[in-house]
Amino acid sequence: MAATKDVFGRTAIHGGSMAADTTRMGFTGFNSSGLIIQQLTIGYNQSVTRLYALEDGKVYFVAGRTDGQMDVQHVIGPAGLQKAFFEQYGDVCNVNKVIVISLAAGCGGNVGKSKIQINNPVITSINMQVNSNDMIIGSGLRLIFTSLGITETAGIGTL
């Protein structure tokens, strides 16, 4: 469809749609269905130092180390705490592992898929909470990792 101008002279072009009921996320190679994941936050940072040269006014960037962290908020359901997840990613002496998170979002036959690869993850903290109003037992995990990779494919079919 051609772009048209609105009454304010602005142009809006529809870039695609997503439906909440077709959006999926899961850990590849690990059955995460019992975790009942409510929220996933991934942060990946690089340290960059800016250096200014007095002699010519140029600016230099020096890249430092990378730092990754992942927070998972989930509800403890019929499958329990997923002890196997804690055992697999909780041992700091055995971090030569990878978490691959598969994501899919879209509508109908136009679904974009992505994979996020978390390298060398280790759990650094576990917390739990419960509220007397709804008696839902929530749990949170914090993991750190060494590096992050992303691959994606747009519009490749249904979920």
Q: What is the pLDDT of residue 77?
A: 77
Is residue 7 in some structural domain? no
Mean pLDDT computed over 140-156: 86
Is residue 105 in some structural domain? yes
- What global pTM score does this model have? 0.77
List the alpha helices (DSSP H) in the chain: 83-89
Is residue 84 in some structural domain? yes
Is residue 104 in some structural domain? yes
CATH of the domain at 142: 2.30.110
pLDDT single digits (tens) 14-62:
777 888 877 777 776 666 666 788 899 999 999 999 999 999 999 999 9
Distances (CA, A) of 72 to 51, 59, 119, 150: 37, 39, 16, 18
Is residue 4 in some structural domain? no
Write out the H or E segment, with its range, that includes residue 128.
strand 122-130
Largest pairwise CA distance in the chain? 67
pLDDT score of 152 more than 70: yes
Write out the H or E segment, with its range, that includes residue 50.
strand 37-52
Note down the domain range covering 131: 20-153
Q: Is the dihedral of CA 19, 22, 27, 32 positive or negative?
A: positive
